[in-house]
Amino acid sequence: MDRLDVLKEGLRRAENFRAAASYINFDMSTISPENARAHEGELIAFLENEAVRERKEPSFVSALLSSLKDIDSMDEWERAMVKEAYRTYRIEKNITKEEAYSFSLQEQQAFLDWEKAKKNADFSIFSKSLQGVIENNKKRASLRELDETEKGLMKSDYDRLLDMYERGMTTEILDPLFDESKERIVSLLEKIKNSKKKIRRDFLTRKVPTEKQKEISKMLQEVLLVDTTRSLISESAHAFTDRMAYDDVRITTHYYEDQFLSNIYSIMHESGHLMFDMMQPKENHEYFITEGKTLGMHESVSRFYENRIGRSKSFISLIYPRLLEIIPETLSDVSEREFYEGVNIVEPSLIRTEADEVTYTLHIIIRYELEKKLIGGELSVEELPKAWNEMYSELLGVVPENDAEGVLQDVHWSSDFGYFPTYAIGNFYNSMYYNAMNRDFDIGEAVRSGNLERINSWMIERVFKKADRLTPSEWIFDITGRELTPCDFLDYLDEKYGEVYGL
């Protein structure tokens, strides 16, 4: 076989194991019996380890290293495949199959412990597993083989973890971006707190039955033009998106009868992830480069549809009449302007996933600062809940009453460190390309008229198409002609919420 054929065959087998693990994970997170989850976790660990084993087969490694020598003579898709496979190879190279299995098993157990700890609002149930996850992340980072460029950039284990999720990102780059964001957001938040504007909120907690919320979910996906023949919506404790295959991308949401907006914006957020996965070039699947897009890129898209589109005046104008038809008893005495303001109410709160646009980035900065200290050894697991509460008090002025609404609220630390910053980076990216799109056509008018096809087409051509073949810095420059900056996002917050609160 040609070496590229050997490479593709190995990647195909590894992808089959990954997909099988994803199907089990989706079942585990949605419908499986509680006592079945430990066994499912073992199966996932086994399948993920088999995927790693395929990528470590001598014939596969030989074909990969041989292909690297002739990469300049390959076409665009072959080059992308080889580059992505080589990056994965260097990440996994020094990790034994026993270690890979142990890492995966630890993560599955940590997920189960996190679920139990959150249910009981008791951090001690999760603390031992969390310590194991931290140690595994540090070990994985230290074992990663770096090329010469990476050696000059990544100065700590946490830098290596950041780069796993956002290629090229380091604390040296991110610290000043977050410092500027924190300063300007805290200043804006103080102005909002001092505003005399009172936003109506009584309707936000009116009960909306689950069946009605399911109707709303369907309506939102119809408006966004989601292909429901290749996707589905299920329910889970923590909403997520999972790509199984080219024609199978799944999302989950949660239905709280007294918080109907929670489902609306979970659907908008996860549908953004879904469309990014579903609307990428088919060649990405054929050449196994679907993991080339970073989480910062991904979060930019999910938060673009959730916030820049979903919380805009024009989108509220579009869906308000439809919501009135589905839940008239909830909104019949609520004007469109009152609904828009209620959707955009700013109030420091405890739960990240329910946070408003202004305070959301502060939630991320808190986690970023804590992660750096945990991985750097400056903060112990035992000290984490206290440090968490102190930072929430300092930046947001709120303190959790228990661990469930505090340090246990997010699932990510049961497996990943370095992931959280990508949510805020995503806000920076999408504000930049929103402005680029708005120069090409009036986004507000397109949304008001229900022409989401125009927006989706622009996203496919400018944002989705090359995401798996470019580094994040190359990608955002290709879209906007500019380097990454938080200024577009911060200016957007100032302008929008200045109008909402009459500042």
Dihedrals φ, ψ of 501, to 5°? Answer: -100, 5
Using the CB atoms, write b or e for 203-219: b if 16+ within 10 Å. Answer: bbeeebeeebbbbbbeb
364, 165 Cβ separation under 8 angstroms? no
Residue from 394, 364, 326 nearest 178 by CA: 364
Q: What is the DSSP letter of 71?
A: G
Nearest-angstrom CA–CA distance, 340 and 378: 43
CA angle 435, 437, 441 (to 5 degrees): 115
Query: Residue 233 belongs to what H/E stretch?
Result: strand 231-235
The residues assigned a catalytic role are: 270
Residue 405: partners with Cβ closer than 8 Å, 6 or more residues away: 121, 350, 351
Q: What is the 3-state secondary structure (H, E, C) of 252-305?
A: EECCCCCCHHHHHHHHHHHHHHHHHHHCCCHHHHHCCCCCCCCHHHHHHHHHHH
Residue 389: partners with Cβ closer than 8 Å, 6 or more residues away: 399, 400, 406
Nearest-angstrom CA–CA distance, 201 and 467: 40
Q: Which amino acid is at 317?
A: S
Helix (H, G, I), strand (E, B) or coil at 345: coil
Question: Distance between alpha carbon 476 and the CA centroid of its chain, in Å?
Answer: 17
248-253 and 231-235 as β-strands: parallel, antiparallel, unpaired? Answer: parallel
